[in-house]
Homo-oligomer: A and B are copies of this chain.
């Protein structure tokens, strides 16, 4: 599971920092999460293949999370993409893109699908044999969802020496990896634990931005491997959180602690703070394992 930060600042632009966008690579999937202005250039810069992105998850329709989407779609059409692309996001996202395509008289070279969201409860959006993606309802000035990405448990690992010692036919291997015991021709049962080791625990990633401090998301993200949580402000600006519907670094730390996350990544910093170290220090007062998102940073999760 690999996370590449393409942008992690809040709306006010800076010459040296981009609005929100990140790429999550998980079990052969390449998911794009949010798509602020300039995302396509950042994808080029950090050498992420456009073609591998088949699913884009947009948290909400504020510009710093979505204004790069039309450029990304237009460019893929210029490159004559054929592969289907599905965009998940709040109701309105389809019109947002389609109006722009119509007015700029742009043709789309590939099947472009939208799944528009309006539920205030968690929804399963995507699932295959390797991963699942569900919404995490957040609370912001506009309708917003975070997203929870979960690996499914992998198969158990064969102890190949043990398996061969019992002359077990290769046809049974998949069953063994799936956890089944083996009954030999002589009727003897070999318990699965003798033939395999357990798989690594499945990993998960919760992407939570933008939101006020909302502890009722904790049960859904309990024991998450990595939590990305917005930290627009520090506690000195706690009074702004209610009005703007954002969180402080400490509040992000509190969510990580309550969820028993293994790691917390902070982002969506207000540009009023000149240095980022204060965000980390503040979150560490309540949760030990804190990292700072930074444009171009790659987290090997």
Residues of A within 8 A of B (CB): 11-15, 18, 37-38, 40-41, 44-45, 61-63, 66-68, 70-71, 74-75, 78-79, 92-93, 95-96, 99-100, 103-106, 141-142
Contacts and interface: CB of A to CB of B under 8 A. Distances in A.
13 contacts: A12-B78, A15-B41, A15-B44, A18-B41, A37-B40, A37-B68, A63-B70, A63-B71, A63-B74, A67-B70, A67-B74, A99-B99, A100-B100
Contact of A38 (B14, B37, B75, B79): B37
Contacts of A45: 15
A40 B11 CA distance: 12
A93 B104 CA distance: 9
Given A13-B44, A106-B63, A141-B105, A37 B71 contact: yes
B142 A12 contact: no
Contact of A13 (B18, B41, B103): B41
A66 B105 contact: no
Given A103-B92, A103-B96, A75 B40 contact: no
Contacts of A41: 13-15, 18, 37-38
Contacts of A79: 12
Contact of A61 (B13, B67, B104): B104
A141 B106 CA distance: 11
A142 B63 CA distance: 26
A70 B64 CA distance: 11
A294 to B, nearest CB: 17
A204 to B, nearest CB: 30
Nearest to A142: B105
B142 A61 contact: no
A104 B62 contact: yes
A232 to B, nearest CB: 13
> Which residue among A41, A70, A105 has the maximum number of chain B CB atoms within 10 Å of its CB?
A41
A99 B101 CA distance: 12
B63 A67 contact: no
A141 B74 CA distance: 16
A298 to B, nearest CB: 16
Contacts of A95: 99, 103
Nearest to A37: B71
A151 to B, nearest CB: 31
Contact of A63 (B12, B104, B141): B104
Contacts of A74: 11, 63, 67
Given A12-B79, A63-B106, 13 more contacts: A13-B44, A14-B41, A15-B45, A18-B41, A37-B38, A61-B104, A62-B106, A63-B71, A63-B74, A67-B71, A93-B103, A95-B99, A95-B103
10 nearest A-B pairs in the assembled complex, by CB-CB distance: A15-B44, A15-B45, A37-B71, A92-B103, A63-B74, A99-B99, A61-B104, A96-B103, A38-B38, A13-B40
